[in-house]
A and B are shown apart, each in its own frame.
Chain A
Amino acid sequence: MRSEVLYIIIGMALVTYFTRIGALALFRFTGVPTWLNRWLKYVPIAILTSLIIPSLLLPKGHLDISLNNHYLIAGIVAAFVAYKSRNIIATLGFGMSVMFLLKLL
């Protein structure tokens, strides 16, 4: 392994670990403040939404709201199945099938 690549990997690992343990390391000593607790309540919805929606609407990096956007079509089907079934296998099965069919067409 080249030494400059090794240094880069170590640096990347350290800063990434900092982002992962930073909050917990701080709150270990201070406790989680109550005002923050109220804010944190909606973080799961906010994060999941911002992981899902752009990956369906901008799969190639630009906004694509059309029938050519397979991710969007399959995403709508998957959302419907997820809502009706609450089942991960069914959602994934239907979603991936739509994805596959659209590729064949």
Chain B
Amino acid sequence: MQQSNLLFGKEQLAEETWTALRDCTPVMLGVVPFGITCGIMGLTAKMSGVETISMSVFVFAGASQFIGITMLGAGITGSGMIILTTLLVNMRHLIMGSSLSPYMIELPFPLQAILSFFLTDEAYALTISRIHKAKYSVLYQLTVSTMLYLVWILATAAGVVLGSYISDPLTWGLDFAMPATFLVLLIPLLANRISLIVFGAAAVVSVLAALNLPGKWYIIIACLTASLIGGLLEGDSKHAQ
């Protein structure tokens, strides 16, 4: 009895890992040009290869690395300024962390600590979409997270090594893989009226905010506004019933 349970478990685990690998492959494709760009930017900013790659290994946050490297290249070595900017750029992770908290709260602390280190836009998008399609799976989150981490480091290293030979890979249009993948994750979620309103609100606010605010603030502002609207509408429709 116990053994058959165990076997069933194993098969399921293998299937979950396979699904995770399949889902994150296109996203990994989208990460590669950004990682290569990061490596090249490091060279341009006169950072050593070890410095650029270490940043990818320890920080693992694309946008803030781009900004940090640019500031270093511009001769800003006042660490306070760069670290504060990094904090502000990455504030959006607090929202993603909150969103995953109901699912991760029961996990043992070491696992929470590890998964949190890997929490990126891409890992969040894949994990939350898996939750909507099936249910929360630690194995799924861990698999996509570690794969994205490895690709990020390898792509950064590739950028450092190849940097002097290739032009800016973001001009190839490969970075389109990212929004395209996110579209497949988003569209099944737009199943009712409130979801469509939240989508519309987030679209308008994010564009307006991206035009007027620096860095990644547009994600935070749009997310807070649109999800608040969704929550309020949800409350109203519950009361009306």
Contacts and interface: CB of A to CB of B under 8 A. Distances in A.
A52 B97 CA distance: 20
Contacts, number: 271
B178 A28 contact: no
Contacts of A88: 23, 26, 181, 184
Q: Helix, strand, loop or mixed for chain B's interface?
A: helix
A23 to B, nearest CB: 4
A31 B199 CA distance: 28
B21 interface: no
Contact of A43 (B98, B201, B205): B98
Interface residues of A, number: 70
Interface stretch (B8-16, B81-89, B135-143, B155-163): B81-89
A17 B117 contact: yes
Contact of A40 (B48, B98, B190): B98
Nearest to B133: A86
Interface residues of B, number: 94
Interface in B197-236: 198-199, 201-203, 205-207, 210-211, 218-219, 222-231, 234-235
B225 to A, nearest CB: 8
A75 B116 contact: no
B100 A20 contact: no
A70 B173 contact: yes
Contact of A4 (B60, B79, B207): B79
A49 B210 contact: no
Interface in B37-96: 47-48, 50-51, 54-55, 58-61, 64-65, 68, 72, 77, 79, 82-84, 86-87, 90-96
Nearest to A87: B184
14 contacts: A1-B54, A5-B51, A12-B64, A19-B87, A23-B97, A39-B230, A45-B189, A51-B179, A53-B207, A55-B179, A82-B183, A82-B184, A89-B26, A91-B184
Interface of B: 23, 26, 29, 47-48, 50-51, 54-55, 58-61, 64-65, 68, 72, 77, 79, 82-84, 86-87, 90-102, 104-105, 109, 112-113, 116-117, 119, 121, 124-125, 128-129, 132, 173-174, 176-190, 194-195, 198-199, 201-203, 205-207, 210-211, 218-219, 222-231, 234-235
Q: Which 4 A-B pairs have the closest CB atoms?
A: A42-B230, A23-B97, A49-B202, A50-B206
